[in-house]
Each structure stands twice: as structure tokens, then as C-alpha cells.
Structure 1
Amino acid sequence: MIALSTIRGRISGFAGTFAALALGVTLLATSLLVYASAAPRTPERFAAAPAVVHAPIAGNADGVVRAMRPWSAAETEKLRADLAAQPGVAQVVVDRAFYAQAVVDDRQLDATDGHNWSSALLGAYKLIEGSAPADGELVADAGLGLRPGTRVPVLTGGGPIELTVVGTVDGPGYYLSDAQAAQLAPGVLALGVWGSSTVEIERTVGERGAVVTGDARKVLEPEHDARIRWLGTQLLVAMATLGGFVTVFVVAGTFALQAAHRRRNWPCCGSSGPRPARSGG
């Protein structure tokens, strides 16, 4: 009851203090939430692979962006065969990534990622309509609006090629036959492995690469995404630090102001309190 009476008597001061505290907590929580959301995560394209073998890390830029040395076509085939020969290994999928961008009515579509068709298993992407691509054919992201039967020019690192759309998939980018993708991307950075223990896979891979599972697969984040995220993280750190200082000073200043106000109104300490009687003389 005493606390309620105190609040009713000083409702404006209490509201101001509460508002400052709530604002500070909100500012800090928002900054930390945005910072946490900027953390690297496993690319969606590799989410369905229980274990991923990636090429050796050759170096880094800015201290965070890792660069990998691709395996050659011969190295890739040898590693794939060695992994597939291990007892318990059910499947080994080679991931090939290359530049591809379709042109429709003299307009380049936004998607720029090309992959081999079998790599769709790494992200558990499925056909929505149509069939798997053969040489000279293309399966495209359903969101791009390309319909089966359409003949489209596709820009690649080796020059433009004409492809026929034979299906759509619920994954991003463009998917070509494995043979045609191998011509466009002879170098490989990752393989997905199903059905064996991590220890056995690591023993087979040796020094030819590294094996990642679970959250460690975030190392496969594309380099351009990692660079953008790293730059954004620096800004978020600065914002969180500034928000922390502002919160501390605003909340501390508000509480100090209220304490000083209460001290002035206290009978024994403030100027409005009773004064001792002056002795005669």
C-alpha cells in the first residue's frame, strides 16, 4: 500500500523513469537481436547433406572471408570414388557452382547461380513440374517464371548458350545436366556425403579437404555473402556499442534526477523541511 501511494503521488516521475528504462532495454535488445541475426549460418543449398567435404582453405580476406582452392576434375573424381567405396556410404554428390543468368525479352533475370542437377539433393530441392535436364536442357527456379518448353539464352562464363526449359524446381537458380555443368565448372569446392560416420569420412579425405557437419557447415557460405555480412557486422557492433553507452547514460541520468528530486522533497534533507528553532540571545 505504501508503494502504491508513493507511485500515485509521484506518477509523472515514475512514468519518466519507467519510459527511460524501457527505452534502454528495447534499444539494447534490438541491437543484440540484429547482431545475432547477422551471424553466419549453413547455406540452404547444403542443409540436407548430413556431411559435406569441402576443398582446402587457401587463405582469407579481411580476416573472415575464407577462400578455398578448388579440386581439379581428376582430384574430384578420385575423391568421389574413394568416398563411395567406403562401407556404409550410401551416396556422394558433387556440387558444381558456376555463373548462369537467363535473358528473357532482352532482360536479364535476377538469378545468377548455376548448378549441376544432382546437387539439388544437397538442399532437398524437388521438381515442381517437368523432368530432369539432359544436355542442352535447363531446370529453373519456379519463381523465375520460366515455363517448360521455353527456349531461352543463358549467359555463362564460357559465353551465352541456348537451353530449353524442361522443368521447374523449388530451389534457387538454374540446374543443368551434370555433364554440361562439368564443362562450365570443372573445379569443385564441395561434395555431400550420406550414410557414413564423420570419422570414416575424415580418414578417407585426409589432407585433401575438410569434413563439416551440423552448424560447422556455415563455412560453406558464399564468399560475397560472407564479405557483405562481415561489413554489416562491423556497423552493427558500432551501433550496439553506441546504444549501450546511450542506454547507460540516459537511464543513469533519469534515475539520478529522480533521486535528487526526492532528496529535495525529503523533510530532513531538503530546503522545504522544518528549520530548527533559533536560540534566544
Structure 2
Amino acid sequence: MVYDPLHRQYVQIPPIPGDLAAFTRHPGSRLYETYFEPFLAPAAWEEEDESSLRVFCNVMSKVKVVTFVFSLVTGMWQAVASFSIGTHEWIRHPILMNCHCAHSCFYWTDYCQRVMLVLDTLEMNFSVVDLPPESKGKDKSIVGAADGRLGLLILHDFEFHLYSKTRQDNGVGTEEWRHDNTIPLPNCYWSISNGGASEGYVLVRGIPRDQYHSGKFPEKKPDAQYFTLQLKTLLFERLCVLKFETSHDYLYASFPPPLSPPSI
């Protein structure tokens, strides 16, 4: 089900048909060994009407990833891309991967890896692309950088490191990653939000170290401070403070067009 929080409307999406779902199975596999990851195509990629809504769903087994797309125009699911995992065993653990979206592509990164999985939604194909060695074991996010370049934010201690490279038809150019900037951060424990980048901004969460080490944690959880980083100007601004136990990592931005009834 796709829910529009601004207009309080929703659209119910039918299940992936059994004959298509069977395409993802391999001999001896069980349903509980298959992982489903639904996500929306950003509204900016589509025409400005509700019929342009597209829902993606990655179905991951131990041996491959298959991407399905549902369109309100046809009212049907369609298998559009597949990728054999092969030696990329880290892809077999999708719960550890973070999904990012930039320049009509989706990117999946893993904290412990220095490569990423890329889905080009224009060509509808997958590829595996190298990341800088410094990205291994670091929190990171794929973003849209200046001049139409592909950006990579790496969080290290009290700094953001911004890398970029050119883009090509498969979503990533062949040149090496270039280190563009270092952005100092206040004295907090930092994490990049699961929501990733939206409309040129990145949402990050910081927990002040003095609160964390005050001796009252975990009985009294510290506040979570949210900041935005504007990628074009590298301006770092405080957004809000939320209670740690009730805060979440999704920033409402870049809404899709209003959905069809029924409404809530």
C-alpha cells in the first residue's frame, strides 16, 4: 500500500503474481529465504500526474536479485531487471544494506564494503561499482553532487568527507573518485539518516557526547539532534531536536503527486 501523508490518501497495490514471483526462486529455496524490498520511484522522475506513480520491488534470494515494477498506467507488475549475486556474498544480507537514490539510479551500500550495487532505472540493468577504500567500515550516503556529478558522503569521526565522480549511462562514470571537501561536525555521535538525500539536502542525526556519557544513559535517553547538510553550498544547519526513543530517520520531502482515492 502506498500512502500519501499530505493528502491523507492511499493506493492499494496488488501482490506480485505467482508466475512472476516464481522467476526469483531457485531449486531447494524456501519462501522465508526470500527478501522483499519495496520502494518508490521519486516523483521528479515522472510526469506530474498521479497515473505516473511507479512502485519498485527487489526480490532477493541467495543467488540473484530480481526487480519488479508496478505502474498505475497498466495496473500490472513487470519483471524488469535481474542480477546474479555470484561472488558478491554481501548482497545476500540485504538487511545490512542501505538504499540511496540519485540521478535516476538506486544505489545499495554496505557499511563493511567498498563496493555498491547500482540499478539504472532508465536502462533497467544492475552493475557493481567500486567505492573509495576509505569508505570501508564507514557510514556513507550516495548523493547528487554539484555540476551533475555523482557524490559520496563518508562519515568519519567529526567530519564529513565529500567525494564525487562523473556519471555515464550506467549511473557511474569510469574516472576515479575525487575528494572534494571535508566538512567539520560538532562533538556528537553522528549517523546519516536512512532517508538519504532529498532535493539537494542530507539529513543527519547527532547525539551529544556529553549527554551520552552523563551517566543517565540508558535510564534517561539523550535527545537526538537533527541537522541538514545542503550539498550545493555545504551549509550545515540545525533542523530540530527530538526525543531519542521516539525519533525516526525519515524527512518528508519531494512528495509524489496526489494519489487517487480512496482517502482516509
- Is this a same-fold pair by TM over 0.5? no
Instruction: Tell me the TM-score normalised to structure 2 length.
Output: 0.22
Q: Which has the higher contact order (CA 8 A, sep 6+)?
A: 1
Q: Give the structure with the higher percent strand.
A: 2
Instruction: Tell me the TM-score normalised to structure 1 length.
Output: 0.21
Greater Rg over alpha carbons, structure: 1
